[in-house]
Structures are given as structure tokens and as C-alpha cells.
Amino acid sequence: MKYTLTGGAGNITRPLALALLKAGHTVTVIGRDAAKLKALTDAGAIAAIGSVEDLSFLTNTFRGADAVYTMVPPTYAATDWKAYIGQIGQNYATAITAAAVKQVVNLSSVGAHLPDGVGPVSGLHRAENALNTLTDVKILHLRPAYFFQNLLANIPLVKGMGIIGANFSAAAGKFPIVATDDIAAVAAEALLSLDFQGHTIRYIASDETGTDQIAQVLGAAIGKTDLAWVKFTDEQA
């Protein structure tokens, strides 16, 4: 099988590519920096250097693939995140049609069912909708929970103020959270089996915890047992 993956050497695409290569398949990885893809090309992947904003490049790279994995790469250049994410979704839909790809695994997010009120995730609502116009293409939308890795952004806050937090809090057992390796494993399983039908949604979580519990576990790990989770206002966050 031939797979084309977006996402470069990111935390999900990298282990996904390695899993597909290990299974003996041909894997092309789209990225913006050849140097960052070296570990994957050394493992047997084909690097396609370019931007998912370049529709011609995207179409040519998708052509011939039995299935593609799509995700929206982050950018610091976007001034309107929802519009940017929605446009990338539209680019994918256009390229998939032009390249005659018939099977897609798309990385979305929990909350993508909402058109507004969930920040940049509302852009993924637009991206899903763009892909869902492809009525003759099988699409699996992955909607993972909050990433464990997102907690790393709190390191300066922990060091500087001795607290951890965000503009939300959740009671024990009410906060689903996921590791990127687990997302990659689900994506690999889907791409290897290609047994999804129509337009399907799958939610992914590694654990269900609470924000106070997150603070307790991290605090114990760094020797700060009084580390507390603080809920900020949207303006403070």
C-alpha cells in the first residue's frame, strides 16, 4: 500500500510513519523542512518538501496514494486561526478530489462538532465540513482529547509563579486526556485496516482525570507537593 502523510516529523505523524514503514508499506511524508524529516527518510520514508497551502504541490503529492492522513500544521503567520484551519481543510478536499484518493484518516479534535465557542478547534469544524463534501471518499475523523504534551506549556508558569492552570478546570474523572503516541497508534490501525466506512468519527482518550489530579501528580514528580491548578479567565489565559 502507498500512504501519504501530512504533519512532517510531528509528535503524531512521526510514530505513525514508522508504524506503516514497519508494516512494509510505502510512506511519503509531507513536511516543510527536509532536515527534520531525515530520521524518517533514514527509516525508508519518502520526503515531499512543500506546503499544504500549495494546492498544486498537495495534489501532486497525494496522487497515487491508496490513503492519506491529513492534519493541519501549526503556523505563527495566521491572524485568523479558524479561517486558516478551514482553508487547509478545503485544500485537502480539493487535492483529494483531484488526485482521486478514496480513503482518508483526518486528525481533528474533541469539540470539532461546534462551529463556534471553542477557539481554534472551531476551525477544525470547518475542515471536517470541507472533507465531508466528498461523498465518494471514505473518511475517518479522529477527535482526540486534550494532549498530555500541552501541559508542557505550563513549565514557565510553574517555575515563575509556582502554579499550573488554564482557562478551564475539571473534576476528578471528568477530564479526558490523551498521549500523542496513542493517537498515532489509532491512526496506524485505521490506515492499515482501512475498514472504516462512509464518514466516521472516532474519539480518542488515554485516561480520564481531573485538573487537580494533574497538578498533584506533576507536583509530586517535581518535588512541589503544594502545586495547585488555577482556573484563569479567558483574558488572563
> Tens digits of per-residue pLDDT, 178-222?
999 999 999 999 999 999 999 999 999 999 999 999 999 999 999
Q: Count the domains in the chain.
A: 1
| DSSP, res 232 | P
Q: What is the mean pLDDT of residues 85-93?
A: 98
Please indicate, yes or no, if residue 229 is contained in any of the structural domains: no
E strand intervals along 108-193 = 138-144, 146-147, 163-166, 175-178
Dihedral sign (CA 176, 89, 85, 193): positive
Element (H or E) spanning 19, and its range? helix 13-22
Q: Which domain holds residue 69?
A: 2-148+178-206
- 162 φ/ψ sector (left φ>0, alpha ψ -120 to 50, else beta): left
CA distances from 149 to 72, 133, 180, 191, 208 (A): 17, 32, 8, 24, 15
Is 220 among the domain residues? Answer: no
- Residue 211, H or E segment: helix 211-221
Q: Look at residue 190 and tell me if it is in a domain.
A: yes
Domain-embedded: residue 104? yes
Quick check: is 91 in a domain? yes
CATH number for position 21? 3.40.50.720
Q: What is the pLDDT of residue 93?
A: 99
Average pLDDT, the chain: 96
Does residue 27 sit within a domain?
yes
Domain membership flag for residue 164: no
Tens of pLDDT, residues 2-46:
999 999 999 999 999 999 999 999 999 999 999 999 999 999 999
| Residue 237 pLDDT > 70 | no
Amino acid at 6: T
> 142 in a domain, yes or no?
yes
How far from 201 is each of 119, 128, 144, CA to CA, in Å? 20, 10, 10
